[in-house]
Chains A and B, each alone.
Chain A
Amino acid sequence: MSGFLERIAGKLKSYREPGYYTKLDHKWTMVIDLDKCNGCEACVVACYAENNLPVVGKEDCAKSRAFSWLRIERYVEGEYPDVKVKFIPVMCQQCMKAPCETGCPVYATYHNQDGLNVQVYNRCVGTFTCATYCTYDVRRFNWFTYKWPKPLEAQLNPDVSVREMGVMEKCTFCIQRIRSAKDKAKDEGKPVKDGDIKPACSQSCPTGAIYFGDLQDPESIVAKLAKSPRRYRLLEELNADPSVIYLKRVMGDGTTSHE
């Protein structure tokens, strides 16, 4: 009897636990070393290819409807000739306290056991709340049903669904690769090793600026890099607890820069 009551009490207590999960299976984290990033946008192209992102064309791009889940933000500082151009790759930060998740009325976006912010395309009704609440402007909306011209539809990634009109979407940390790596590890009866999973952006980065791994594994490279004194997170003061960690760029004069 007392065991039963304890189980009930434990259950009720878990419903009041902030974020519900007391222990995550993994905590997938991305570390981006801005000192290594040269702004070549290879990651952006890889993301388009991997995730079946449509190319919207000149006009819609000018209307700020470009589909890049991952973008290189460019900032120009100072006047010519003393001008500095800085850049920073920004994708969905997979916030642990994501403002977008509470906004959705139909649970089209929620938090999964891997600490990822998941978007369920089929459930989305398109109320735009998540995108409005997102402080990083990383959510993309299917304004039209996009079509791929004739031979190009053959190169669509079969592991990723093609989204229809009226659906919100965003960077998933290449969840299809995470899934297949986990499946493979499960078949072999081993845990997922650090380095087994590489999202498209990380894989294609020529300078190796993007690291990906499980922060809960103390041996992983991201866990080690996360202790770096150069570490910072984007808009940390907004308290959304993002999962992407940036390493500041070291300038010529020895100072560090956020971009």
Chain B
Amino acid sequence: MAPHHTSDYQTGELKSRDLSYPTGGGISYKEVNDDVVRTMTQTGKWYYIALAGAVSGFLAFWILPWAYQIYTGQGVTGLNTPDFWGIYLTNFVFWIGISHSGTLLSAILFITKTPWRRSIYRSAEAMTFFSVATAAVFIFVHMGRPWNFYWTVPYPNQRSLWLNFQSPLMFDVFAISTYATSSMIFLYFGSIPDLAAVRDRVTGWRKQIYSMLALGWRGTDSEWHWLFKAYTFFAVFIIPLAVSVHSIVSWDFALSKVPGLAKTIFAPYFVVGAIYSGSAGIVTLMIIFRKAMKLEKYITLNHFDKLGMLLLVMSLLWSYINVIEVFTGWYANTSPENETLIYRMFTTPYAYMFWLMIFTNTILPLLFIFKKCRTSILACVVVSLGINVGMWLERYLILTTSLPRKFLPYMWHDYIPSWVEISMTLGSFCFFAMLFLLFVKLWPSVSIYEVKEDIGIPMRKGGGHH
């Protein structure tokens, strides 16, 4: 046996073993394969407990209430005549928002050739795909007659009726299906070499499945060449697509006439908010993931340092947009604008949520100015969870403080969610957890070949990092 390669030549550049990636001199190529295959084949007791919890939570909190709702009617929710959109649409926008960091960030960092992308992007992309799936289910949940959902799909039919391509919801159908397809392709084609690596290591039923999934990958020069050409194009397509998806989601609201929803700033606001909440989601998930799978070697504090900087920038952008939204509305001083602003900030029963949101999304992330906080796991957990709570509240407030105050005061009516809606919100988190837990067992959740790229190409005559 030949000696396995290590990244010894890089040791000189690294300042601190704890903060740097790759850990200097620590990891060999073989170790990467071993570690990633270990996450898939060695399953502890806690994994089964978590999976059982997620599956039963999904069934109990989501499927059963949903069945009840389909059987009885939308009346079991707290929706009423002016407030036709409530928690379901909040959750839809929230999960689409969560999806906005994985693939987008991965594509941007791939094109800019940023090295710290390599060990986190696979699970971040999976997060994208699963949160789009969760969001898509909420479209069906909020529909009055979900069994007719296929009427929103363009297919030739005998009813002489097609689709209204002027409807913002139709933009949604196109944007989200394109987004889900593209991010799935991006995820899958980035994983083919790793699926092949797993195929070579496992036996039994796993061998058969991964042989199919790896498409017969051998790692030849031409396969690598074409994969990277194609992958670059996927990345280039994903970036404008992700921006368009959340702009379109915001236009569901912004193309109406309702004060508080019809705002020109909504598209950039939603895109910024989506990247913000998505990055916070990545931080939360990565902390749990590295701990549970013992991958501290690969997902290091350096990653959280970089993500913390990103969160800080997004937090400032988000706060800036919020300030202009309030400022321009106040300055314009038209009565519907004033009414909505005052209602949102002070007179609504949800006013405390507004101020909580300002605290978690504007003030709390300022902690990340300090490197000590960016590299502290506890601070990362607190801030990223805070941001996610705040971002959920933001979407909730957008709907619940504008629809109850439409133009005719006679119809003003506040919205209070029912237990069915709250239960399905909880259920969606269980659903997401279930999908992600299955993913880490069935898929190489850290990119083997790109971590190896980071370790460096073994050269006899020195050479260097390409």
The answer to whether A and B touch in the complex, with CB atoms under 8 Å apart, is: yes
Residues in chain A within 8 A of chain B (CB atoms): 60, 63-66, 71, 73-75, 90, 99, 102-107, 123-129, 131-133, 135-137, 140-145, 165-168, 235, 238, 240
The residue on A at minimum CB distance from B418 is A63
Choose from B81, B161, B168 the contact partner of A137 (Cβ within 8 Å): B81
Point out the residues of chain B lying under 8 angstroms from A63, CB to CB: 78, 80, 413
Contact status of A107 and B145, CB under 8 A, knowing A137-B406, A137-B411: no
Do A126 and B407 have beta carbons less than 8 Å apart? no
User: B72: CB under 8 A from chain A?
Assistant: yes
- Which of B52-60, B146-154, B193-201 touches A? B146-154
User: 23 A–B contact pairs at CB < 8 A?
Assistant: A63-B78, A64-B81, A64-B82, A102-B166, A103-B167, A103-B255, A104-B164, A105-B163, A105-B169, A105-B170, A106-B152, A107-B161, A125-B149, A126-B74, A126-B143, A129-B169, A129-B252, A135-B258, A137-B406, A144-B75, A167-B145, A238-B407, A240-B257
Contact status of A141 and B144, CB under 8 A, knowing A123-B161, A128-B85, A235-B407: yes
Contact status of A60 and B142, CB under 8 A, knowing A103-B168, A106-B151, A135-B258: no
The residue on A at minimum CB distance from B84 is A128
Do B256 and A124 have beta carbons less than 8 Å apart? no
The residue on A at minimum CB distance from B161 is A107
Do A123 and B151 have beta carbons less than 8 Å apart? yes
User: B408: CB under 8 A from chain A?
Assistant: yes
Residues in chain B within 8 A of chain A (CB atoms): 72-75, 78-82, 84-85, 142-146, 148-149, 151-152, 161-164, 166-170, 173, 252, 255-258, 403, 406-411, 413
Choose from A126, A235, A240 the contact partner of B144 (Cβ within 8 Å): A126
Point out the residues of chain A lying under 8 angstroms from B407, CB to CB: 135-137, 235, 238
Do A106 and B163 have beta carbons less than 8 Å apart? yes
Point out the residues of chain B lying under 8 angstroms from A131, CB to CB: 81, 84
Point out the residues of chain A lying under 8 angstroms from B85, CB to CB: 128, 132
Point out the residues of chain A lying under 8 angstroms from B80, CB to CB: 63-65
Q: For the complex, what is the distance from the CA of A142 to the CA of B79, rounded to whole Å?
A: 12
Do A132 and B144 have beta carbons less than 8 Å apart? no
Do A166 and B73 have beta carbons less than 8 Å apart? yes
Point out the residues of chain A lying under 8 angstroms from B168, CB to CB: 103, 129
Q: Closest approach, in angstroms, between the C-beta of B161 and any C-beta of chain A?
A: 6
Do A105 and B258 have beta carbons less than 8 Å apart? no
Q: Closest approach, in angstroms, between the C-beta of A165 and any C-beta of chain B?
A: 4
Pick the most buried of A105, A131, A143, A240: most chain B CB atoms within 10 A of its CB: A105
Pick the most buried of B72, B81, B82, B168: most chain A CB atoms within 10 A of its CB: B81
Do A168 and B164 have beta carbons less than 8 Å apart? no
Pick the most buried of B75, B170, B258: most chain A CB atoms within 10 A of its CB: B75
Pick the most buried of A102, A123, A125, A140: most chain B CB atoms within 10 A of its CB: A125
The residue on B at minimum CB distance from A165 is B73
Known A106-B163, A107-B161, A125-B149; further 17 A-B contacts with Cβ < 8 A: A64-B82, A64-B411, A64-B413, A103-B169, A104-B169, A105-B163, A105-B167, A105-B170, A124-B145, A125-B145, A125-B146, A127-B144, A128-B144, A137-B408, A143-B73, A144-B72, A165-B74
Do A99 and B256 have beta carbons less than 8 Å apart? yes
Point out the residues of chain B lying under 8 angstroms from A128, CB to CB: 79, 84-85, 142, 144
Q: Closest approach, in angstroms, between the C-beta of B382 and any C-beta of chain A?
A: 36
Q: Closest approach, in angstroms, between the C-beta of B221 and any C-beta of chain A?
A: 48
Point out the residues of chain B lying under 8 angstroms from A99, CB to CB: 256-257
The residue on A at minimum CB distance from B259 is A135
The residue on A at minimum CB distance from B144 is A126
Pick the most buried of A104, A132, A135, A144: most chain B CB atoms within 10 A of its CB: A132
Point out the residues of chain A lying under 8 angstroms from B72, CB to CB: 144
Contact status of A166 and B144, CB under 8 A, knowing A64-B413, A127-B169, A129-B169: yes
The residue on B at minimum CB distance from A88 is B410
Point out the residues of chain A lying under 8 angstroms from B82, CB to CB: 64, 137
The residue on B at minimum CB distance from A130 is B84
Point out the residues of chain A lying under 8 angstroms from B163, CB to CB: 105-107
Contact status of A75 and B410, CB under 8 A, knowing A105-B163, A123-B161: yes
Point out the residues of chain B lying under 8 angstroms from A168, CB to CB: 144
Point out the residues of chain B lying under 8 angstroms from A129, CB to CB: 167-169, 252
Q: Closest approach, in angstroms, between the C-beta of A135 and any C-beta of chain B?
A: 5
Q: For the complex, what is the distance from the CA of A143 to the CA of B26, rounded to whole Å?
A: 62
Point out the residues of chain A lying under 8 angstroms from B169, CB to CB: 103-105, 127, 129
Q: Closest approach, in angstroms, between the C-beta of B435 and any C-beta of chain A?
A: 25
Point out the residues of chain A lying under 8 angstroms from B173, CB to CB: 105
Point out the residues of chain A lying under 8 angstroms from B162, CB to CB: 107
Do B410 and A74 have beta carbons less than 8 Å apart? yes
Q: For the complex, what is the distance from the CA of A74 to the CA of B408, rounded to whole Å?
A: 11
Do A145 and B73 have beta carbons less than 8 Å apart? yes
Do B164 and A105 have beta carbons less than 8 Å apart? yes
Point out the residues of chain B lying under 8 angstroms from A240, CB to CB: 257
Q: For the complex, what is the distance from the CA of A150 to the CA of B319, rounded to whole Å?
A: 59
Choose from B149, B257, B413 the contact partner of A135 (Cβ within 8 Å): B257
Q: For the complex, what is the distance from the CA of A7 to the CA of B314, rounded to whole Å?
A: 55
Point out the residues of chain B lying under 8 angstroms from A126, CB to CB: 74, 143-145
Do A125 and B167 have beta carbons less than 8 Å apart? no
Do B144 and A142 have beta carbons less than 8 Å apart? yes
Do B408 and A132 have beta carbons less than 8 Å apart? no
Choose from A75, A102, A238 the contact partner of B164 (Cβ within 8 Å): A102
Point out the residues of chain A lying under 8 angstroms from B164, CB to CB: 102, 104-107
Do A106 and B73 have beta carbons less than 8 Å apart? no
Point out the residues of chain A lying under 8 angstroms from B161, CB to CB: 106-107, 123
Do A165 and B144 have beta carbons less than 8 Å apart? yes
The residue on B at minimum CB distance from A238 is B257
Q: For the complex, what is the distance from the CA of A66 to the CA of B410, rounded to whole Å?
A: 13
The residue on B at minimum CB distance from A87 is B410
Do A143 and B406 have beta carbons less than 8 Å apart? no
Do A166 and B145 have beta carbons less than 8 Å apart? yes
Point out the residues of chain B lying under 8 angstroms from A238, CB to CB: 257, 407
Point out the residues of chain A lying under 8 angstroms from B146, CB to CB: 125
The residue on A at minimum CB distance from B150 is A125
